[in-house]
Amino acid sequence: MLDEDLSRLIPSLLPRLWRFALRLTANRHDAEDLVQRACVRALERPHQLQEGTSPLSWLFSIMYSIWISEVRARKVRAGSAAEWQDEAFDQLPDPRAGDPENEMLHQQIINAVGALPDPQRVVMLLVAVEGLSYREAAVALDIPIGTVMSRLARARITLGERFAITRPQRLPKGVRP
């Protein structure tokens, strides 16, 4: 892909990059930094985008790699700096908000996905939220496709248990509910 093509493509991918970064980092400021760093890295190294690879998957891969490095660096620096808290901002009512029950359910789902172990959460975000295929997610995370499928299955089971989703049992013939 040519530098100019990538420069024109990135703005159309920003909403999806931002959404993934926000769910990955759980912090608006970190998400902004992560998107910016991923876009800069992509624009500096367009030759690394391999033919046949989706630019979006490639950018997700860059973003995930940067985030993992950041998490490792934070563990090393732990205790030396205070974290920025967006709690006050998140508690302000949204004037565009709809039905409070739906908003509460959406927040419960977001919290449940956010509580998944990192490997499961990242796969769930890429496949279920961003719509990447298993193969694209495997490429983005540099893991085997079977690992993607396994992590996704475990994430779905965990979420199902969290919301007590069970399969309907069949009643024997002649028995009515």
End-to-end Cα spacing for the chain: 61
Instruction: Mention every residue, 6+ apart, whose C-beta is less than 8 A from residue 37.
Output: 66
Give yes or no for residue 162 having a pLDDT over 90. no
Reported as a single tens digit per residue, the pLDDT across 81-126 is 555 555 555 555 555 556 667 778 778 888 888 899 999 999 999 9
DSSP 46: G
Q: pLDDT value at position 52?
A: 86
Are 1-92 and 95-167 the same fold in CATH? no
Reported as a single tens digit per residue, the pLDDT across 126-139 is 998 888 999 999 99
Fold (CATH) for 95-167: Arc Repressor Mutant, subunit A (1.10.10)
The first and second tokens of residue 169, run together, are 């049992």
Q: How far apart are CA 75 and CA 54, in angstroms?
A: 32
Q: How far apart are CA 131 and CA 124, in angstroms?
A: 10
Q: pLDDT value at position 172?
A: 63
The first and second tokens of residue 76, run together, are 């090393």
Alpha helices in the chain (DSSP H): 3-25, 28-44, 55-77, 87-90, 100-114, 118-124, 134-141, 145-162
Q: pLDDT value at position 176?
A: 56
Reported as a single tens digit per residue, the pLDDT across 36-94 is 999 999 999 988 988 888 999 999 999 999 999 898 888 877 755 555 555 555 555 55
Q: pLDDT value at position 91?
A: 55
Q: pLDDT value at position 108?
A: 85
Domain boundaries, the chain: 1-92, 95-167
Give yes or no for residue 1 having a pLDDT over 80. no
Exposed (0-12), middle (13-18) or buried (19+): which is 11, by Cβ within 10 Å? exposed
Q: How far apart are CA 173 and CA 177, in angstroms?
A: 11
- pTM given for the model: 0.63
Q: pLDDT value at position 168?
A: 57
Residue 58 contacts residue 1 (beta carbons within 8 Å): no
Pick the CATH number of 1-92 from 3.40.50.300, 3.20.20.140, 3.40.50.1820, 1.10.1740.10: 1.10.1740.10
DSSP 126: I
Secondary structure of residue 70 in the 3-state scheme: helix
Q: pLDDT value at position 73?
A: 85
